[in-house]
Amino acid sequence: MSELVLASASAVRASVLKNAGIPFHIEPASIDEEAIKTNLMGQGRQPREIADALAEAKALDVSRANPDALVLGADQILVFENGCISKSSSLADARTVLLRLRGNLHRLISALVLAQNGEPVWRHLETATLWMREFSDAFLDTYLADEGQSLLGGVGCYRLEGRGSQLFTRIEGDYFAILGLSLLPLLSALRERGVVPK
């Protein structure tokens, strides 16, 4: 069986892979995501292209150091009002983001890229649409206090697998894609490459 390397420090992505019984180890990519994202946005690139480029950059960075391994790079872009929202650096920033998203819809674009020998060998893009409800300020304060720093790990400042599910009235799209790892297409690709049994 081939070896899979996850080029991400995301605990959620690691949990999805582990729960699916996929053998892997973690080696986070060391790239400047914000610099790449800013450069691509300056070129007028679309959010889907940016998500794909970031996932590829992560996969290639780790693949060059592990040429024989199959390396998985992943990224997620949140699109709101024709702009992109990045991860928050503090709970105050998270509060501002959630207030902007409150009562509105936004889209999450999830990108996956598998690389081997320093070259991309497979990629997948998926978009989910999420409608956030008109929650009260009191709910928001409690939510932020209870969830704490864990909210800073995702672009939308919510964890759908936890209390973040209470923020929404409607969701269209794949659950795993919202978590940041489109599992079913990935499993098909991994079966083809001998990482998991057929």
**Residue 42, pLDDT score:** 87
How far is Cα 128 from Cα 23, in angstroms, rounded to an integer? Answer: 27
Residue 193: closest CA among 123, 122, 113, 126: 122
Q: Which domains does the chain have, with CATH numbers?
A: 4-192 (3.90.950.10)
The model's pLDDT over 27-84, given as tens digits with 9 standing for 90+, comes to 999 998 889 998 998 898 999 999 999 999 999 999 999 988 999 999 999 999 988 8
Q: What is the dihedral of CA 179, 185, 186, 190, to 10 degrees?
A: 160
Under the banding of pLDDT at 50, 70 and 90, the label for residue 1 is low
The model's pLDDT over 104-135, given as tens digits with 9 standing for 90+, comes to 999 999 999 999 999 999 999 999 999 999 99
**Residue 63, pLDDT score:** 95
How far is Cα 112 from Cα 163, in angstroms, rounded to an integer? Answer: 26
* Of 197 and 128, the one with more pLDDT: 128
How far is Cα 157 from Cα 100, in angstroms, rounded to an integer? Answer: 11
- Taking each helix axis from N to C terminus, what angle separates 47-65 and 33-42, rounded to the nearest 10 degrees? 140
The model's pLDDT over 131-178, given as tens digits with 9 standing for 90+, comes to 999 999 999 999 999 999 988 888 899 988 889 999 999 999 999 999
Q: Is the pTM of this model over 0.75?
A: yes
Name the residues annotated as catalytic.
75
Q: Give, for 140, the enclosing helix (H) or strand (E).
A: helix 137-147
